[in-house]
Structure 1
Amino acid sequence: MPGALPIGDPAPRDGSLPVSVREGQARRRFGVYLHVPFCKARCGYCDFNTYTADELRGAKRSDYAGQAVAEVEFAGAVLQQAELAPRAASTVFFGGGTPTMLPVADLVAMLDAVRRTWGLEPGAEVTTEANPDSVDADYLHALARAGFTRVSFGMQSAVPRVLQTLERTHDPGRIPLVVEWAREAGLGVSLDLIYGTPGETAADWRVSLESAIAQQPDHISTYSLIVEDGTKLARQIRRGEVAMPDEDLQADLYELADRMLSGAGYRWYEVSNWATGDAHQSRHNLAYWQGHDWWGIGPGAHSHVGGVRWWNVKHPAAYAERMAAGSSPAAGREELDETTRDIERILLLTRIRDGLGVAALPPAARTAVAGLIADGLVDGTAAVRGSILLTLRGRLLADAVVRRLVGD
C-alpha cells in the first residue's frame, strides 16, 4: 500500500500562501509535476501513491484529466494572489503510477492547461514516465506533436526472472522497440533500472546494464531496491519467502554500474543518475535537488514554493471531492525555518556533482570536510577549489556524509 503522508500543519482550504514566498523568487525557477495515480497492477516492492482499478472507491480514470486541469487553474490563481511575479514553467514532469495508462488526449489536455496558466519557457523540458507495454509508436508521436520532449521508460531489468520477482509485467524484448519509436518521434529517452532485487546476481545486473547501454539512451537512472514497510515484498521477506537485499552486494552492483556507464560515455551528475552530457540531465529533478519552486498536481503530490511545502490528499476519490468543491486538495503543509532549510540544502546538494559549495556550509560543517577527505568520501582537489564532490565511496555512503556535515 502507499506510504503515509507526512505530519504537518493544517493547510488553508483556499490554498493561500504567506508573503514570505516572495523573498528570493527571482532566483528560483518554476516547474510543474503532474501525478497520475493509476497502475494496471501493483508491483510488490512499490509504495508509491498509485491505485489499481479495484482500489479507486468510485473514482474514475476517465474523470482524472479534468480534475488535474482544475488544480492547475486553482494553482495559477493561488500564485497570482500571492503576488508572485509571473513565471513560465521551465520543466513539466508527468509521473505515477503509469501516466501513459491514460489516453494521450488526457495528457495533452493537462499539458495544455499548464501552457495556458503559466506558459512554457523556450526549450522547456516536458517529460512523461511510461511503462514499456503502455505505449506504441502512434502514442509517442502524439506526445511529441503536443510538446513533450522526453520519455522515461521503466525498464528496471533485462532479466525475466528479476522482472518476475519485481512483479513487472512487460516483456524485456519490448525495450528496443519503444526506444526506437521514441527516437523516431524526436523524443529524448531515459531508462530506469533497479538493482539489488532478491536473487539478482552480479551477472544478472551486468546483463541489464549491457542491454540498457546498447539502446544508447540519453540518460540512465539506477536505483537500489529499498524494502518499504507495508509492501508485499516486505511481507514476503518477513515470512522468509525471499531474502532481504544484501547491502554489500548492492554496493558492488553500484560500483559495477559506475564502471560500465562511465566506460560507455555516461557521466554521473547525481548519485543515482547518469547522462551523456549536461543537456541530457533531468532538469526537472535537478530543480528538486537545487531547491527551486514546483507545484505538484494530483493525489498525494508534493509542492514547494519559497520555503513552504505542502502535500495533497492521497486517495483519488478524496482528491476528486476537493476539486469538485473548488477547494485546495492539500492535506497538510509546513513552513521551513532557516535551520531546516540549511539541513535540506546540504542533504540535497551533496548528492549532485559539484552541487554544494564549501563556502555555503555553516562553520561547523566546514570543519567536517577535512575528515571526509581523509576518509576518502570527498574529493580533496575539488574541496580546495570550493566544491563538495563525492568520491565513488562517498556516493555509496552519501547519507553518512550528510550526517557528518550536519553534525548528527
Structure 2
Amino acid sequence: MNGKNDGRSPPPSRGTGPTAGPPGGEDEDEGAASEVDGADAPRRPIYVLEGNTLHTRLTRELGLHYPFVNAGMAFVALPPLVIAVSEAGGLGMLGAAPEPPPFLQARIQAIRAGTKRPFGVNLIVASGGGQDFTTRAHIDVCIAEKVPVVSFHWGTPPADWVKALKAAGTRVWMQVHSVEAAREALAWGADGLIAQGRQAAGHNRSAVSTLKLVREVRALAPEVTLLAAGGIADGPSAARALFRGADGVWVGTRMVASVEAHAHPGYKQRVAEGDAGDSDVTTLFGPEWPGQPMRVLRNRVVREWAGREARVPSPPPAPERIGTARLFPGLPGGDAPYAMPKFCSFPPTADTEGDLEEMAMPASGASMARIESVLPAGQIVVEMMERAHRVLANPIGLDAEAEEDDRG
C-alpha cells in the first residue's frame, strides 16, 4: 500500500502480501475476508477500503487507516513485521531487545527504508544480568531518528526521558496492568495507555481481564488514547475491545503466527495449533531477567515445573544448554551464536536451533483459540480490521461479559 493517508482511498499495493479481497460491496468483502488462502494459492493485492476504515482517536492522531498496532515483541517484531503492519494501514511497532543503541538505530533506519508510514519503538524499562535494558542512549537514538511513537513496558521511565521525547514531538505510551499503574503513567505525562489484561502473552503481571481493564482505564482517562492488549486475535475480539472504549488494539500472539515475524517456524506452528487452555503464567524462565511472570505456551518444560518454580535447583537440572540463537541478526557483530542456558527467557527465533520443548514461547491461550494458520501480516491487519468494522456496524451482544475468553 502506497501513498499518503490523506482521507482518500489509496491505490492498491502490488507487494507480496495477500489481501482481504477486491474492492466492492459489503457482502463481497465479507466473503473474501472470511476465506483463508491456501499456501499455494495466488496472492491478491491488499485493498484498504476507505469507506470501511475504523476512525478512532488513534487513527486521527497518527494518520492511520486502522486502529491496529502489533505488540512490540523483543526478538520477534523486527523491521520486516513493522514495515508490513505499517504498510497495511496499522502502526508497526519495533520490539527493542536489550541491545546496543547502534543496533536500535540500524533497525529504525531499516524501517524507514521500507515504509514512509508511521511506526513506533517499544522499550523495556528493567534491569537484568547487570545491565539496564533501556538507557538514555536508546532514548537519544529515538529522538535523533524522529520516531513517531515510543512505548514503555514494565518500569516507569525516568522523567528526563519522557520530557526529551515529548519535546522532540514523539508520543509516549505506557503499557499498564492495572488502574493504579494507569494513574501513575498519567501523572508522569503518558500520552497513551496500553491496557494489558491477564490474557496477554509474554511478561505480564495483570490480574484483570482485558475488557474489564479497558473499561476501568477508560473511565479513569476518557480523553487519553487507549489500546487494548490481551486475547485479541480476530475481528470480533478487536470489535469488542473497541466497543468497550479502546481506541485501538495491541496484537501480539496473532502476529507471532505471521509470515514476517522473526519467530521460529515451530513456534509459529504451535501458536496456530494451540487452543484456549494451552498457555500458562510462570516465573520459570530467566536467568537473563529472573523471577518475572510470563504467559507462555504450555510445552514440556512448563508442564514439568508448573507450580514448582520456587523449587528449581541451582544450578538447574540438565540440559545445561537448550540451544543456540542469534540475538541481533543482520547487524554487524549481532550474528554471533548465543548459547541458550536452561530456562532461557529469550523466545525461539528464525535463527534458533535446539529443543523447543525447553524454550519460552510467549503466547495467549485466548488468542490461540482464534488463530488457525500462519498468514502474511498485511492480510491479518486488513482482515481483522474489516471484520471488526462489520461487527461494530451491528454490535448485538458485544456488551455480554461471556464474550470475553479469559482462560489464558
TM tier relative to shorter chain: 0.3 to 0.5
**So what's the TM-score if we normalise by structure 1?**
0.42
**So what's the TM-score if we normalise by structure 2?**
0.42
- Tell which structure's C-alpha radius of gyration is larger: 1
Q: Which has the higher helix share?
A: 1
